[in-house]
């Protein structure tokens, strides 16, 4: 078949699809499929110059004006997310449905993401910072302003997660997933059977640590998370800016570190918890739940990993989807965000990650066992022990210094 005939056929198919109405992403789906066909259409046989099909913003703006029914989609979109934080089938599905190639890359912490952007990386379009990091990034001018009116599926988000204090009016980001930070421990471990870890002391007190450190202990490779745990255990605010308090938390960590086997926040659930390489881990709720459900035995009706929120208090966090200020594919970024906020896609994300979804409409598609799992959706008595990490302003250099000492030991 000649290229010309092939493109003509593609355009006809795209127009037919458009006539059938919206796709799973809702909102602009039908019109964007139409414009995608236009975007993909040019060949050397076309009158349109090849550069007209590039993803430049200028082009997108012009096309949007000429084509009020929906955005022209870029050929590629660069998505930079936390490790193991989406069902990658959703990315393939987006590529197949909209013809946009997703360049996907992952990071281990908010600080890694920030460092990458501050080092001048300009290729990334869509990123997923947590609450306190959104505030920091807004101040640093690293996020584009977004218009939630251009994201129809934003209506799927529960009101309690909209307009959070770190981004009033959702001017920059929309909610993605939320969870807590606690302790995951091996069920059936003789010591934990007698002494269920209900305190951060199980991560920091040498007298306790020496009783099970042979089995392996992992901590999150995350400076705000680990220092916050040490701060609240020491009786201070998890968001302390006080020099002495942060130094005390640092020293507590330095003394406990010899009992720890690994600093891992990327794949510790799959590489350390599930294969029994450790017996205790500082953990995010969804990763602990993944370890539980991946080892679930129908006969005993139990899994191998339990999760606990320490009595001194623990972090509750909300990760967000944002567009970088340097993105040249703004329309496509919003289109992709709208796709992620679709009810069924939102559920597919939670059914894969085991993190709680702020997407109210997704609930009907989320597995019952996840909705009923109190380590994922905490009950009110646990909620009462949770606090948010917030931006610490200039004191961030105290955290950076403490972290350098901790990692350098």
By beta-carbon proximity to ligand N2P, the closer residue of 212 and 317 is: 317
Give least dist CB 267 to ligand N2P, A: 8
| Residues 6 or more apart whose Cβ sits within 8 Å of residue 398 | 241, 243, 246
Least distance to ligand N2P, CB of residue 130, Å: 5
Nearest alpha carbon to residue 253 among 200, 197, 215, 310 = 200
Residue 201 and residue 338 in contact, taking contact as beta carbons nearer than 8 Å: no
Closer to ligand N2P at the Cβ: 39 or 389? Answer: 389
**Residues 268/200, Cβ–Cβ less than 8 Å:** no
Query: Which residue minimizes CB distance to ligand N2P?
Result: 82
User: Which residue in 68, 72, 17 sits closest to 41, CA to CA?
Assistant: 72
Q: Are 186 and 276 in contact (CB under 8 A)?
A: yes
Q: Which is nearer to ligand N2P, 266 or 342 (CB)?
A: 266
Q: Of 88, 118, 115, which is closest to residue 103 (Cα–Cα)?
A: 88
Closest separation in Å from C-beta 319 to ligand N2P: 5
Q: Is 350 helix (H, G, I), strand (E, B) or coil?
A: helix
Give the DSSP H/E element, type plus range, for residue 344.
Answer: helix 343-353
Give the span between the Cα atoms of 260 and 50, in whole angstroms. Answer: 56
- Report in angstroms how near the CB of residue 142 gets to ligand N2P at its nearest: 18
248 or 285: CB nearest ligand N2P? 285
Rule CB under 6 A: which residues touch ligand N2P? 82-85, 130, 284, 287, 317, 319
Which residue lies nearer to ligand N2P by CB, 39 or 229? 229
Nearer to ligand N2P, 61 or 106 (CB): 106
Minimum separation from the CB atom of position 177 to ligand N2P (A) = 7
Is the CB of 55 or the CB of 130 nearer to ligand N2P? 130
Of 82 and 233, nearer to ligand N2P (C-beta) is: 82
CA distance 91 to 102: 7
- b/e burial code for range 25-40 (CB count within 10 A of at least 16 → b): bbbbbbbbbbbbbbbb
Report d(CA 117, CA 119) in Å as an integer: 5
Place of tokens 């004191």: 395
Task: Work out how close the CB of 178 gets to ligand N2P at its nearest, in angstroms, rounded to a whole number.
Answer: 9
Q: Could you tell me the smallest distance in angstroms from the CB atom of residue 85 to ligand N2P? A: 5
Q: How far is the CB of 194 from ligand N2P (least distance, A)?
A: 31
Instruction: Tell me how far, at minimum, the Cβ of 289 lies from ligand N2P, in Å.
Output: 11
Question: What's the CA gap between 163 and 177, in Å, rounded?
Answer: 15
| Residues 108/220, Cβ–Cβ less than 8 Å | no
Choice between 186 and 224, CB closer to ligand N2P: 224
């Amino acid at each position: 078949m000649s290229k010309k005939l092939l493109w003509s056929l593609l355009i006809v198919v795209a127009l037919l699809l458009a006539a059938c109405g919206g796709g799973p992403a809702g909102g602009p789906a039908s019109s964007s499929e139409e414009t995608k066909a236009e975007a993909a259409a040019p060949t050397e046989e076309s009158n349109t110059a090849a550069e007209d099909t590039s993803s430049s913003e200028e082009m997108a703006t012009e096309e949007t004006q000429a084509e009020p029914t929906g955005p022209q989609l870029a050929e590629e979109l660069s998505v930079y997310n936390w490790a193991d934080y989406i069902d990658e089938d959703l990315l393939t599905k987006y590529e197949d449905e909209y013809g946009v190639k997703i360049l996907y890359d992952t990071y281990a912490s908010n600080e890694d993401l920030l460092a990458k952007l501050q080092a001048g990386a300009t290729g990334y379009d869509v990123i997923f910072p947590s609450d306190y990091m959104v505030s920091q990034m807004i101040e640093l001018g690293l996020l584009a302003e977004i218009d939630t009116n251009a994201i129809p599926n934003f209506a799927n988000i529960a009101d309690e997660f909209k307009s959070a204090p770190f981004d009033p009016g959702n001017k920059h980001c929309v909610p993605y997933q939320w969870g807590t930070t606690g302790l995951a421990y091996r069920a059936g471990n003789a010591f934990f059977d007698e002494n269920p870890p209900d305190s951060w002391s199980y991560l920091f007190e040498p007298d306790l640590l020496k009783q099970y450190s042979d089995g392996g202990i992992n901590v999150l490779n995350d400076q705000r998370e680990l220092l916050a745990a040490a701060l609240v255990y020491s009786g201070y605010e998890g968001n302390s800016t006080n020099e002495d308090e942060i130094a005390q938390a640092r020293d507590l960590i330095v003394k406990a570190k010899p009992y720890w086997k690994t600093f891992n926040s990327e794949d510790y659930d799959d590489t350390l918890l599930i294969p029994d390489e450790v017996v205790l881990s500082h953990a995010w709720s969804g990763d602990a739940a993944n370890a539980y459900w991946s080892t679930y035995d129908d006969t005993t009706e139990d899994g191998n990993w339990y999760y606990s929120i320490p009595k001194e208090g623990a972090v509750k966090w909300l990760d967000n989807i944002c567009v970088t200020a340097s993105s040249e594919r703004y329309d496509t970024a919003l289109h992709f965000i709208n796709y992620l906020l679709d009810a069924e896609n939102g559920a597919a994300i939670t059914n894969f990650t085991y993190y709680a979804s702020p997407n109210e409409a997704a609930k009907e598609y989320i597995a019952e066992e996840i909705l009923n799992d109190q380590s994922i959706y905490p009950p009110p008595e646990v909620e009462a022990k949770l606090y948010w990490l917030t931006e610490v302003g200039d004191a961030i250099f105290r955290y950076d210094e403490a972290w350098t000492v901790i990692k350098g030991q």
